[in-house]
Structure 1
Amino acid sequence: MTNEKIFSLLRTDPKFLDLTNEELAELISFCEIEKFDKINKIIKEGEFGNKFYFILEGEVGISKSISDEVIFFISSLKKGDFFGEMAIITDYPRSANAFAKTDVTVLSMTRDSLFRFKNEHPLAFGKFAFILAKTLADRLYKVEERIKNIIKASVISAIT
């Protein structure tokens, strides 16, 4: 996939509307293109990571290990979604597994690249940081809704 095609894909993504064409091109220049075959693990829960990923093509599954034998499927991510960003913002280990549900093409950015982008393009970085913050806030809201539904179900089953 060429940088021009990546630029076109990201330019049409509503998340990137606040970035100018020049800022978007600069952001892309700090990233790498990676491909993962169907079923391949991309991120392993508990490991320390230094990359995050933006899906250009394909579908990624996110799961959480409950025990050695039990894995809980959390969600499916598709073109335009991010994953792995918590590991480059914090020094915490990966909080979930990510695997290719189909053949996947991603744009990846390392922690070092993110900080170089921040130092060299502070205004564009600020806009990009807001995109990451909004993504995290949206996910937190969805998790809170799921927790609320689990609690409701627990209360109802305890009553009946």
Structure 2
Amino acid sequence: MTVMETLKHCRLFEFLSDDELGLIATKVEEHHHRKGDFICREGAWGDSMYIIGQGEVKIVKKLDTETVWDITSLRHGDFFGEVALVDGSPRTASAVALVNSTVLELYGRDFKMLMNAGDALSNKMLESLLRVLINRIRATDDIVTNIMAEKLKGESGHSATMREIVSRAMVSRK
């Protein structure tokens, strides 16, 4: 796959013209990773995001010193690392190549340059980024709700109502 083909398949860039994609293509760096390579590590400082060109990447998070949670697997056109790109915070999870993979890396300085390249481009990119982040937040919310419901069901022997879940969550925050 070419860089342009990869960018065209990325949800973040799906509403961009070929000229706009061409501008982004000049700003990304292509990296090749072997099966098992860490692309980025949880807790490490990050200022870039990644777009998968070929292969498959697993996103994992440490739950404790011995337990690792496989969050998801991503493929061609999927992207990750956008949280660190936007706020410059440490990585919230690690990314590991499940097979030999090619990823495109977009650095924060180039992302900021693209945001200043023109209102149309920045508006399209921000709208797409927000849409993806909102979908991820909703999916996370569903997971947390299901976990809480199962936990509360196990404690009381019956399925808890949303009111009970929220009430117990608020009490546990105090």
How high is the TM-score relative to the length of structure 1?
0.90
Match of 1:115 in 2: 112
- Separation in structure 2 between the aligned mates of residue 14 and residue 49 of structure 1, nearest angstrom: 21
1:39-118 matches, within 5 Å, as 39-118=36-115
Q: Secondary structure at the match of 2:72?
A: strand
- What is the DSSP-based 3-state SS (H/G/I as helix, E as strand, rest coil) of the residue aligned with 2:116? helix
| 1:136 counterpart = 2:136 | no
1:107 counterpart SS class: strand
Distance 1:64 1:12 in 2: 26
Change (3 A) 1:50 1:123: same
Which stretch of the first structure deviates more once superposed, 57-66 or 12-21? 12-21
Instruction: Read off the aligned partner of 1:92 and give its amino acid letter.
Output: S
TM-score normalised by structure 2 residue count: 0.83
* TM superposition shift of 1:14: 5.6
Q: Which amino acid aligns with 2:91?
A: R
Which entry has the higher C-alpha Rg, 1 or 2?
2
Q: 1:137 to 1:12 in 2, by over 3 A?
A: same
Measured against aligned partners, the alpha-carbon deviations of 1:84-120 in whole angstroms (never above 9, x if no partner) come to 0100100211111111111111111001111122223
Distance 2:12 2:63 in 1: 32
Deviating more after overlay: 15-24 vs 28-37: 15-24
- Taking only the aligned residue pairs, the percentage that are identical comes to 29
Query: Deviation at 1:10?
Result: 3.2
Name the SS of the counterpart of 1:93 in structure 2.
coil
Q: Which moved more, 1:11-20 or 1:31-40?
A: 11-20
Aligned to 2:15: 18
Moved more, 84-93 or 129-138: 129-138
Query: CA 1:92/1:59 → structure 2, altered by over 3 Å: closer, same or farther?
Result: same
Matching residue's letter, 1:47: A
Offset at residue 43 of structure 1 (A): 1.1
| Structure 1, unaligned runs of 5 or more | none
